[in-house]
Amino acid sequence: MHHFSRYRHGADHPLTRLDPRLKLFSALALLSMVISCKGFAFPLLAAVMCGGLCIGMGVPLRLLMLRFAEPLFIAVMVVLLKLFFVGEVPLFSVHVLGLDIIGHREGLVDGLRIAVRISGAVSLVALLGFSTSFTDLMGALAWFRVPRTIIEIAMFAWRYLFVLLEDAQVVYHAQKNRLGYAGYRRGLRSFGTLAGALVIKAFDNSQNITTAMVQRGYDGTMPLMRHRPFRPGEVIFSLLFVLTMGIIWRM
Amino acid sequence: MRDKTRLSAEIDSFRYPDGTVALADIRLDVAKGEFCGVLGANGSGKTTLLRIMDGLIKDFAGKVLLDGEEVRKLHPRDIYRKMGLVFQSPDDQLFAHTVFEDVAFGPRNMGFAEGEVAERVRSALASVEMTEFGGKDIHALSYGQKKRVCIAGLLAMGHGILLLDEPTAGLDPMGEYRMMELLTRLNRENGVTIVMATHSVDLVPLFLHRLVILSRGRVVRGGPPEEVLTAPDEMAHVKLRLPHIAELIWRLKHEDRLPFLRVPLTIGEARREIVETLGGENQ
Amino acid sequence: MVRLMVTTLLLFLASPAYAMHISEGILPFDWAVLWFAVAAPFVALGVKRLNGLAKDDLAMKPLVGLMAAVVFVISCMPIPVPTAGTCSHPCGTGIAAILVGPLVSVLVAAVALLIQAIFLAHGGLSTLGADIVSMGVAGSFAGWLVFRGARKAGANLAVAGFLAGVAADWLTYAVTSVELASAIRGNEPFLPLFGKILIAFVPTQLPLGILEGAMTAGMVVLLQRKRPDLLVRMRVTKGGNGVAAMLFVLLLAATILTSSPSLAADKWAGVDEAVVEKVAREHGREARRPLIDLGEGDLQLFAFLLAGTAGGFAAGYYWRMLVSEKRPAGRG
């Protein structure tokens, strides 16, 4: 259904083993720099660096392309939008279907600026996602004092996401085998049934999980997540890295 | 024997919200160290019975005593320190991401220090033969492995009583056998009192001390397996059957008039019975 | 005219699959921060509300987590849109809001969006605030208010569900358009671009909204038929709270008002220079240089970033003490 898996890449890569809190901090700092950047160089640098690291970690190229497909598509749209509608200085004109469509210089520059920003930001977050497990990421967010309630429900969501995805696929194929998607109206109805079945499943599952957890002493809050102590070397490395990138960003 | 009873259920009646009677006139005493089975067809009320015994369902007429105290009046904390229910579907039970995190949930909630938690997790995983899976992600486990982790999660809390809902359902034949062996070992070596609901008649007589047959919410018979599993027509009446081997001997005895004395329930017993009966004839 | 047609054509192609989420990196820093600030109070209220609910019913947190997973799965499903000839996906916040209420539904959306941002590059971390505002806040409140309103007006479950789905979908897309237009406009005026985006979305979003409505109605009816107990438990089929509804209308109105500063900025550009400074000068109070002058360039932005990070960290660090109580120490 989606290019979405729990497959972890580069389990032995130093980046995977880096403290998730430092990874999150560095990623968010760099993300802020990328999106507040008005030039081209820095986002491009971030994109190349993070893309390279992803490949270095052994993320299959195909998966990487799939991950970038949607944002890059949007980036292209933004460039075209800006190219044709923003600016004064004509760059070229195309004659299509009796219409003159003019591309503008400022629009192109503006659009490319946004497109570069998108690539940089997406590769940063992709690298974070590929090198960090969801549990680690939530642990890091909890350390940064994101409310516990949000962390807890995110953990439940992640755990049961795959159970529900599998269920959805089973129901979908069962419906398809019986021509549930032959014809538009029937397809829509089948789809509604599928979604409804998932909601019912969510209710029943949550009830059972709660019972099972109460049996094991659940009183409304999950035990605190534990973090291993910061390693000074990693902290210094991360801070230096962010600082260096900050200096490059200022240039 | 009375002083050794750990769990005793006297359920006069329980109705589902829609008014149909789910359970009626249930009397079940479980002694310390017993390995007891609740056998019944689907829809006979097995799961409901376990849920009532575990204190999850409270609006029934009757009482359930855990070490002499009524379960309904106990604080959940006090119930679940002694007794735990393993659900049929492991996905209803395992909510954490790694095996270790899930098994550690109970001990952590009981307030143990982290060193003690780790030790309890280690020994619980060892009991279910999953020691090397501590760091694995739950979703990467097989169905049978997930079931084992469910059991470990309760063992880590030091439970003396385990209630299991269909522990062998959904496992392949080898998996069923290994699960039953595991439970037997927990029962014999760790002294865990076990009540399990099941419908697998072929496995039950190999392992269980005592059997209760549940049909339409009522206990129709109870006792050691060889007393309970006797005639095919009686079993059919409660929507069950005899173990295949027992059915074979029963037919040879009653329909072909072969001079078998007993109706054995397991292959081993049957083999002995056949050798003795037919071997004696040949001599 | 030609421009409009081509825009329409372009967005017509672009919008179907991705209309609901604003992609990573599209919003510049200040806009991203603004939308986080708008989303924060709603998320905080959602957390507070959920904590309250979870006190009475321990199953609430797992339920909300699973609802987030359902919303995630639903929004992974391709729905063919006949007018566009491509697939799009519903957002599912309408049904979530109907079942768990609008505030908690904000959390449902936030969690689903967070997972999509990190592991699918669908939406983004920097645009999470904006996406929470459009999908979580606008979608949830629109769906919930319309559902409750329709029920109060005597509509049956199916009709109310349909209207709620439509409202959630359309309002989400309207707010997304505001966010997009304000961020990518550059030096262009806001309103024309907003209009273009809005019009461009119409061919896909109009029918998609109706599909989402049909789906929501189907789900509510299915629940009513198969599991009426769930609807009663979530207080969907019993009367709602009029006062709460009024409050939410006001909150919603306030959000919409505060969320369109660029509208005001276009009309009132230069009010500082034209009025305030002039009056000040007349009274002999000439404008003086700032105490710490960082100029107007990247240095100022960087200082802002630092201050924002420090402030955000401090606020986040003490956040928990404000919104949730401490866990009792001795237990077990």
> Is A210 in the B-facing interface, judged by CB distances under 8 Å?
no
Q: Is the pLDDT of residue A185 over 90?
A: no
Sorting pLDDT into bands at 50, 70 and 90, what band is A3? very low
* Residues on chain A touching C131 (C-beta within 8 angstroms): none
What count of other Cβ atoms lies within 10 Å of the Cβ of residue B137? 17
pLDDT tens digit sequence for B58-104: 888 888 998 888 888 888 888 888 898 999 888 888 888 889 989 99
Q: Which of residues 247-286 of C touch A (CB under 8 A)?
A: none
Size of interface B-C (CB pairs under 8 A): 10
Sorting pLDDT into bands at 50, 70 and 90, what band is C323? very low
> How many Å lie between the alpha carbon of A66 and the closest alpha carbon of chain B?
24
* Residues on chain C touching A43 (C-beta within 8 angstroms): 25
* Residues on chain B touching C62 (C-beta within 8 angstroms): 95
Query: Any idea what DSSP says for residue B65?
Result: E
Sorting pLDDT into bands at 50, 70 and 90, what band is C125? very high
Amino acid C160: pLDDT: 93
* Residues on chain C touching B157 (C-beta within 8 angstroms): none
Q: Is residue C317 part of a domain?
A: no
CA A108 to CA A83: how far, in whole Å? Answer: 5
Specify the 3-state DSSP secondary structure of B191.
coil
pLDDT tens digit sequence for B2-25: 447 888 888 888 988 777 888 888
Q: Do the bridges between strand B161-165 and strand B193-198 make them parallel or antiparallel, or are there none, so unpaired?
A: parallel
> Is B108 in the A-facing interface, judged by CB distances under 8 Å?
yes
Q: Is the pLDDT of residue A248 over 70?
A: yes
Closest residue by Cα to residue B206 from B232, B224, B233: B224
Sorting pLDDT into bands at 50, 70 and 90, what band is C186? low
Amino acid C88: pLDDT: 59
Q: Is the pLDDT of residue C272 over 70?
A: no
Amino acid B2: pLDDT: 43
Q: DSSP strand E in B80-228: where?
A: 83-86, 161-165, 193-198, 210-215, 218-223
Q: Is residue C66 part of a domain?
A: yes
* Residues on chain A touching C68 (C-beta within 8 angstroms): 153-154, 156-157
* Residue B183 host element (H or E): helix B173-189
Phi and psi torsions of C238, nearest 5°: -115, 165
* Residues on chain A touching B99 (C-beta within 8 angstroms): none
Q: Which of residues 109-148 of B touch A (CB under 8 A)?
A: 109-110, 114, 137-139
Q: Is the pLDDT of residue A38 over 60?
A: yes
- Which of A208-212, B93-97, C276-280 bottoms out in mean pLDDT, i.e. has the lowest? C276-280
Amino acid C198: pLDDT: 74
Mean pLDDT, rounded, for C13-39: 76
Residue C113, judged by CB atoms within 10 A of its CB (0-12, 13-18, 19+), counts as buried
* Residues on chain B touching A208 (C-beta within 8 angstroms): 87, 89, 92-93
* Residues on chain A touching B84 (C-beta within 8 angstroms): 215-216
- Which of A126-130, B57-61, C265-269 bottoms out in mean pLDDT, i.e. has the lowest? C265-269
Sorting pLDDT into bands at 50, 70 and 90, what band is C81? low
3-state secondary structure A105-156: HHHHHHHHHHHHHHHHHHHHHHHHHHHCCHHHHHHHHHHCCCCHHHHHHHHH
Amino acid B35: pLDDT: 92
Most trustworthy range by pLDDT among C28-32, C206-210, C261-265 = C28-32
Angle between helix axes C157-184 and A61-85 (nearest 10 degrees) is 70
- Which of A149-153, A213-217, A219-223, C96-100 bottoms out in mean pLDDT, i.e. has the lowest? A219-223
Look at C332 and B95 and tell me if their CB atoms are within 8 Å. Answer: no
Most trustworthy range by pLDDT among A179-193, B174-188, B221-235, B249-263 = B174-188
Most trustworthy range by pLDDT among A31-35, A91-95, B139-143, C222-226 = A31-35
Q: Is residue C25 part of a domain?
A: yes
CA C190 to CA C181: how far, in whole Å? Answer: 7
Other chains touching B, judged by 3 or more CB pairs under 8 Å: A, C
- Quick one: what percent of chain C has pLDDT higher than 90? 24
Most trustworthy range by pLDDT among A76-80, A223-227, C140-144 = C140-144
Q: Do the bridges between strand B61-66 and strand B5-15 make them parallel or antiparallel, or are there none, so unpaired?
A: antiparallel
> How many Å lie between the alpha carbon of C307 and the closest alpha carbon of chain A?
13
Q: Which of A68, A188, A214 sits opposite C215 (nearest CB)?
A: A188
Amino acid C307: pLDDT: 67
Sorting pLDDT into bands at 50, 70 and 90, what band is C275? low
Q: Is residue C280 part of a domain?
A: no
> How many Å lie between the alpha carbon of C64 and the closest alpha carbon of chain A?
6
C306 compared with C107, residue with greater pLDDT: C107
> Is C30 in the A-facing interface, judged by CB distances under 8 Å?
yes
Model pTM score: 0.78
> Is C110 in the A-facing interface, judged by CB distances under 8 Å?
yes
Amino acid C310: pLDDT: 62
Closest residue by Cα to residue C84 from C202, C1, C215: C202
pLDDT tens digit sequence for A96-125: 766 677 788 888 888 898 899 999 999 999
CA B215 to CA B239: how far, in whole Å? Answer: 8
- Which of A85-89, A101-105, A161-165, B248-252 bottoms out in mean pLDDT, i.e. has the lowest? A85-89
Sorting pLDDT into bands at 50, 70 and 90, what band is A71? confident
* Residues on chain C touching A145 (C-beta within 8 angstroms): 316-320
- Listed as own residue / partner, the contacts of C315-322 with beta carbons closer than 8 Å and 24 or more positions apart are C316/A144, C316/A145, C316/A146, C317/A144, C317/A145, C318/A145, C319/A145, C319/A147, C320/A145, C320/A147, C320/A148
Q: Is the pLDDT of residue A55 over 50?
A: yes
Q: Is the pLDDT of residue C5 over 60?
A: no
Other chains touching A, judged by 3 or more CB pairs under 8 Å: B, C
- Measure CA A224 to chain center: 26
Sorting pLDDT into bands at 50, 70 and 90, what band is A2? very low
Q: Is the pLDDT of residue C129 over 90?
A: yes
Q: Do the bridges between strand B210-215 and strand B218-223 make them parallel or antiparallel, or are there none, so unpaired?
A: antiparallel
A92 compared with B84, residue with greater pLDDT: B84
Amino acid C17: pLDDT: 42
Mean pLDDT, rounded, for C150-175: 90
Residue in chain A lying closest to B87 (CA): A212
Site from B80, B97, B100, B101 to mutate, A interface, most A CB atoms within 10 angstroms: B97
Amino acid C9: pLDDT: 47
Angle between helix axes A184-215 and A148-177 (nearest 10 degrees) is 140
Which CATH number belongs to the domain containing residue C259 in this structure? 1.10.1760.20
Q: Is the pLDDT of residue B129 over 50?
A: yes
3-state helix vs strand vs coil in chain A, percent to 5: 70, 5, 25
pLDDT tens digit sequence for C28-56: 888 899 999 999 999 999 999 999 999 88
Q: Is the pLDDT of residue C178 over 90?
A: no
Look at C330 and B111 and tell me if their CB atoms are within 8 Å. Answer: yes
> How many Å lie between the alpha carbon of B236 and the closest alpha carbon of chain A?
32
Cβ atoms of residues C134 and C207 within 8 Å: no
Specify the 3-state DSSP secondary structure of B58.
coil
Tokens of C164: 């709620």
Residue in chain C lying closest to A251 (CA): C298
Question: Domain of C170?
Answer: 15-267
Amino acid C242: pLDDT: 46
Amino acid A47: pLDDT: 92
Most trustworthy range by pLDDT among A18-32, C177-191, C212-226, C277-291 = A18-32
Mean pLDDT, rounded, for C161-172: 91
Amino acid B147: pLDDT: 92
Q: Is the pLDDT of residue A229 over 80?
A: yes
Amino acid C13: pLDDT: 45
Amino acid C159: pLDDT: 92
Amino acid at A13: H
Terminal-to-terminal C-alpha distance of chain B: 46
B166 compared with C208, residue with greater pLDDT: B166
Q: Which of B17, B95, B109 sits opposite C332 (nearest CB)?
A: B109
Tokens of A249: 């960003």
Look at B80 and A216 and tell me if their CB atoms are within 8 Å. Answer: yes
> Is C45 in the A-facing interface, judged by CB distances under 8 Å?
no
The chain-wide mean pLDDT, for chain C, equals 74
Structural domains in chain C (count)? 1
Other chains touching C, judged by 3 or more CB pairs under 8 Å: A, B
- Quick one: what percent of chain C has pLDDT higher than 70? 60
Q: Is the pLDDT of residue A240 over 90?
A: yes
Look at A216 and B84 and tell me if their CB atoms are within 8 Å. Answer: yes
CA C210 to CA A185: how far, in whole Å? Answer: 13
